[in-house]
Amino acid sequence: ELHKAGRHFKGKSPFTNEKTPSFFVSPERGMYYCFSTSQGGDIFRFIEVMEGVDFKGALKILAEKAGVELVPENPQKKTERDQLYAVLEQATQYFENKLASHGPARAYLENRSVTAETIKKWRIGYAPGPPEAGWRELRQHLNTAGYNDTLLLKAGLIKTTDVGKEPFDVFRDRVMFPLRDQNGKVVAFSGRILAKDTEAPKYVNSPETDLYHKSDLLYGYDMAKHSIRQLGFWLIVEGQFDVVMSHQAGYSNTVAVSGTALTTHHVQLLERLSNKVVLALDADKAGIAAMKRAADLMLRRGIDVKVAALPDGADPADMVQKDIKVYKNAVGHSVHVIEFLLTHLKNTITDERAFKLRAREEVIPFVTLIPNHIDQEHFEGVIATALGTTKDAVHFEVTRLLEESERQSISSKSVININTTSVTSPYNPTHRKDVTLLYLLAAVSVVSAEVRSVLEVEVDSITNSNIDDLIKSLPDSALDKIIFQLEESYEKSSPLIVYEELVHKLEQLRRLYLDEQLALLRSQLTENPEVSSEVLPKILELQKKKQLPPYTVDIFSKL
C-alpha cells in the first residue's frame, strides 16, 4: 500500500519484510526505488525483479495484464521455436515414463536419498540405452509421435557422426535432468551415466540450440527465483544433483551453472533478486578455483559473496544424504570469501612468511574489487589481524594495487586517442570523478529545463561528451537512488542553495577531469619521450585551464 509523500508515493518494500517504509514511486517519471534493497527502475524492471524474468518475460506479463497481444516479428521462427519446445516436452515425458519402469535407475536415485516428491518436482527421468536397449530408443519414439529427424537434431536430442549413417540418441542409459528456462519450459537436458563400469563421461549435456545457451541458463532458477527474493540470498552449487538435494534439504534458493563457469549474464539474472550470495562448491582444487573466478566476477558488481566451508571431498548432495545437519551448519555459518581464503591458506601453508606472501598475492587483490570504501577498510582490518601485521601495511598494498591498475589503464590508451578534455572509462563507484559526474547526471533529471540547459553545456564542456551519451553509458539503475534523493532534497531547498551545490560539483568535476588528463599525458611522455612535441603543448593547455576562475552561481544568473 502506497501513501502520498511530497511529490512521491511511499510504502513498505515488496521485496523485504521491513517495518519502516523505504519504497518510493515517482508518478512523474514512472520510476520506483527501494532503499532497503538498493534497486530501482521502471515498471519493466519492477516486474523483472518481482517475477525473476528478463525484459522479454516482463513485457509478456505486462501485455497479458493489459490485454494486449504481442505479435512476433517472424511467425515462422515462432512456429519453429514452439515445435522445439513441444518435442523437448515430449522427450521429458518419455524419460519420466521410462524411469517409472526402470528398476536400476529408480534404485540409483533411492540410494542417493532422492525422494519420490523430489523426482516428480524436478521431472527427473531415465534415457534407455545399451546394454539393455538400443542406441535409437528416443528417436524411434519421437519419430512415431510425428517429429522428424531435422527437428530432433535442432533440439539436440539426436546426433550423427558419419554422413549417410542413421542418427542416434545423444542420451543413452542415463538419469535425466531437464534443464528449464526462467519460465519453467524445458530447453535442454543433462544426463548422468547409470553404468559404473564404463569409460563414458559421467555427465553429458545437450549441445547449444536456438533455445539453449549454457552461458545464459542457471539450473533451478525457475524453481528458486521467488525463494531467493524471500530468503535474501542465493545459494550456488556445482551440479544438478547438488541443486536437487539442496532444495530437498530446504534451501529452495539454490541454483547451479550448467556446463560452464559463472558468467556475467548469470550474475545479472540473479542480482535482480538479491545482492547476497553463498557459494557451496566442492572443496577440491577445482572448486576453489571456480569460487575465486565467481568471487572476482561478483565483487566487482557490489555483491556480498560468502562461502560455505564444505569438508574436503564432499559436495552438497553427499552431505544432504549423509548428514543434513552438517550441510545446514556449513551454509548457516558461511563467511565472506576473503575470510574463507585466509582460513584456507592458513590451513594449507605452515610457513608463516609463505602464508603472508600468498595472502598478499591471492587475497588482498579481492579487496580492491569491492566498490565500497567502508567494506574495503573493514577487510583491510580482517586481513591485518589474520597476517599479524598492521592495518596500514595492508592499506598500503591495497592502494598500491589500485594505483597499479590505474596506471595500466592509463598506459593502455594511445596518444592519438587522447582528448585534452576527456577520459572515457567505465563507471567506477569508488572514483571521485565518477561519483561527482553521477551526481550531476542525476541532477539533470531533477532540475528545471532552464537549469538543465546550463548543466548540459558545462558538463559537455568538461567531459567533451554528450550528456545523453554519458547517461546511456552508466550501469542499469545507477542513477535511480540519487535521483530520488535529490528530488527530496531540492524540494526542501531554496534555488540559491541548489545552485551553490551544483557549481561546487561542476568545479570539482572540472578539476578531477583535468588532473586525470594531465596524469595520462605525463605517463605517456615518460614512457615515450619521442611524442614530446605532440604531448607538451597539450600539457601546457591543460595547466592553463587549471588556472581559470572557479565556477560561480553567476552561470545561472540569466535564468
> What is the per-residue pLDDT for 406?
63
Q: Is the pLDDT of residue 141 over 90?
A: yes
Least confident piece of the model among 157-161, 260-264, 335-339, 527-531: 527-531
Cα separation of the two ends of the chain: 40
**Count of residues for the chain?**
559
Cell 560468502 found at: 306
One-character DSSP codes across 392-426: HHHHHHHHHHHHHHHHHHHHTS-GGG-BTTB----
Mean pLDDT score, 516-542: 80
Nearest to 176 by CA among 82, 86, 244: 244
**pLDDT at residue 413 above 60?**
no
pLDDT, greater one: 414 or 525: 525
The CA distance from 441 to 471, in Å, is: 7
Closest of 83, 190, 205, 206 to residue 145, by C-alpha: 83
Residues 499-526: pLDDT tens digits?
999 999 999 999 988 888 888 888 777 7
DSSP string, 225-241: HHHHHHHSSEEEESSHH
Weakest-pLDDT range from 22-36, 46-60, 219-233, 399-413: 399-413
Task: Assess whether pLDDT exceeds 90 at residue 273.
Answer: no
**What values do phi and psi take at 234, rounded to 5?**
-110, 145
As a whole-number percent, the residues of the chain with pLDDT over 70 amount to 93
Confidence band (pLDDT; 50, 70, 90) for 186?
very high
The reported pLDDT for the residue numbered 301 is 87
Whether pTM exceeds 0.85: no
Mean pLDDT of all residues in 442-461: 89
Residue 213 has pLDDT above 70, yes or no: yes
- Mean pLDDT within 437-452: 89
Please give the average per-residue pLDDT across 64-92, as a whole number. 81
Higher model confidence: residue 73 or residue 532? 532
Is pLDDT at 105 greater than 90 in this prediction?
Answer: yes
pLDDT at 470 exceeding the cut of 50:
yes
What's the pLDDT tens digit per position in 384-393? Answer: 999 999 999 9
| Residue 423: band (very low, low, confident or very high) from pLDDT cuts 50, 70, 90 | very low
Averaged pLDDT of the chain: 87
Q: CA 463 to CA 460: how far, in whole Å? A: 5
Write down the pLDDT at residue 418. 40
Quick check: bond before 167 cis, omega within 30?
A: no
Question: Does the pLDDT at position 420 exceed 60?
Answer: no
Residue 478, pLDDT > 80, answer no
pLDDT of residue 85: 96
Q: Is the dihedral of CA 283, 223, 104, 172 positive or negative?
A: negative
Q: Are 505 and 498 in contact (CB under 8 A)?
A: no
At 2, the pLDDT band (50, 70, 90 cuts) reads confident
125: β partners: 176
Apex 224 CA angle, 66 and 77, nearest 5: 50
Average pLDDT estimate for 550-558? 86
**Complete DSSP assignment for 21-65:** --EEEETTTTEEEETTTTEEE-HHHHHHHHHT--HHHHHHHHHHH
User: How many whole angstroms separate alpha carbon 496 and alpha carbon 154?
Assistant: 66
